[in-house]
Amino acid sequence: MNLTFHLSLWGILLLIVIGLFIYRRWLENHDDPYIHLHNDSHDSSIITSQNSAAKRLDTVDKLKNGLLIAVIVYALAILGIVGYLAWNTPGTS
């Protein structure tokens, strides 16, 4: 088993999750926090942009949460494999 490969793949996945956290924060900070309830043309474009930003935030949240779960499960699998190999390696105490 090549432990270096698995650890580097886990690190890359972790960096992607961190990048998604930062990207979500950036999207959140560039969103309009006010609700526009008027019926003029200017507000309709703002409402449309708010809807698209909310959809983008939902997509990033789903991706971020799925990858975070995958990173945690992968880390636990690596730890389990390392523990199993250490348990079964002869000559160690």
pLDDT in tens, 14-30: 999 999 999 999 998 88
Q: Where are the domains of the chain?
A: 3-28+49-88
pLDDT in tens, 42-70: 777 777 888 888 899 999 999 999 999 99
pTM of the model: 0.79
Report the distance separating Cα 11 and Cα 6, nearest Å. Answer: 9
> 41-88 and 3-29 helices cross at what angle (nearest 10)?
160
Rounded to 5°, the CA angle 31-13-8 comes to 150
How distant, in Å, are the alpha carbons of 12, 30, 40, 48 from that of 71? 10, 28, 46, 34
Kindly report the average pLDDT of the chain as a whole number: 87
Residue 92 clears pLDDT 60, i.e. is over it: no
